[in-house]
Chains A and B, each alone.
Chain A
Amino acid sequence: MSEGKDCRFATLSNEQLIELLRLSLKGTSDSLYLSCLREEIVSRNIGLVKSIAVGFLNSGEPLDDLIQAGYMGLLNAVANFDLARNTRFSTYASHLIKGEIRHYIRDKHSTIRIPQWVQVMNRKVKEAEEAFFKEEGYPPPIAELANCLDISESQLVELLRGRKAMTYISIDQERRSVDPNPSSPDITHFCSRGENLSFDFRMRIIIAIEELAEIKQQVIDGLFYQGKSQTEVGKELGVSQRQVSRMKEQILREMKGKLAGPHREEN
């Protein structure tokens, strides 16, 4: 592209250039000739890549990156265009360029893509929290907040769990975009006045409990459903099958004791 257009190819169509490229690849053309041919095809179509990339600017990605992705689509089009299909090269190339740009955007956003309903509910939760706080001077307890949103407490807890897992970045982005003077995201913003545990603190402790319960479940699954015989486990640990059996029995007894309640727990 640095040398500008090669006048040898000026009168040829895109399709003819590609056919020429194919024939040249099969023949004995020198590398400089091939390079010029490729550059001519690309330079003729770079405008097409740019115009398609501009249509994806609302994705939030920089134009240069979109063009770069589209350029890959153009190269694929050059490599795979089938003259026998009776389709214009520009039509075929457009399809591949758009495909590459879409892939690029999907890959970039896959880790922070948030379902629409979660975004809507998050906004409602935020508004309800702020409205309550403004009126009462302290953050809403879960029951109050659920009532404001007209959903059950358990649904609200579920929603907040999802919010924590998926939307920290996004909520901040949303807040930054609408608030010219955003406050600090510090959780103390919604801290209680002292009578109750604040909403955020409660959720964070509950999430800690859930994480621990999940670890516990994994351990129990591994302990009883891993499909290894006690002899196999014993060999791995360097203890007898009988010792493995005793260990498992002891664990089972303790679990049974806990299930029966603290007043019946045996030690």
Chain B
Amino acid sequence: MLDLLNLIGKVIEELRSSIELFEASKHEDGLTQLSSVVLKIDHYLERSDDDLLLKLVPIDRASLGKRLKAVKGELVSVIESFSSTAP
């Protein structure tokens, strides 16, 4: 089980990497990277109740869930828009 800090660390790395891939015209790889981020966030959201780290911090879980879903939604929208316009 990925804890929240680990998830964010990995996801940020992948997002940075996706930008580099797009910049290098590796669109397929960039999209794969973004999709991987979306899957990771989804996977975490499904299992966040088991994240012990969240029990250690005074964080509003509902609000956290909303923020992660918003990030995911934005990335899905980028994937969809990019897929529909890429040559």
Contact = CB atoms under 8 A, between A and B. Distances in A.
Contact of A255 (B5, B58, B82): B5
Interface residues of B, number: 40
Given A191-B85, A197-B19, A233-B56, A251 B71 contact: no
A216 B5 contact: yes
- B interface secondary structure, majority: helix
B81 A247 contact: no
B70 interface: yes
Interface stretch (A119-127, A147-155, A170-178, A206-214): A206-214
Nearest to B68: A215
Mostly, the A contact residues are helix
A34 to B, nearest CB: 51
Given A187-B81, A211-B71, A237-B56, A205 B5 contact: no
Given A209-B12, A209-B15, A212-B71, A226 B5 contact: no
Contact of A194 (B12, B34, B59, B86): B86
Contact of B52 (A188, A216, A219, A247): A247
Interface string B64-83: 10011011001101100110
Contacts of B70: 211
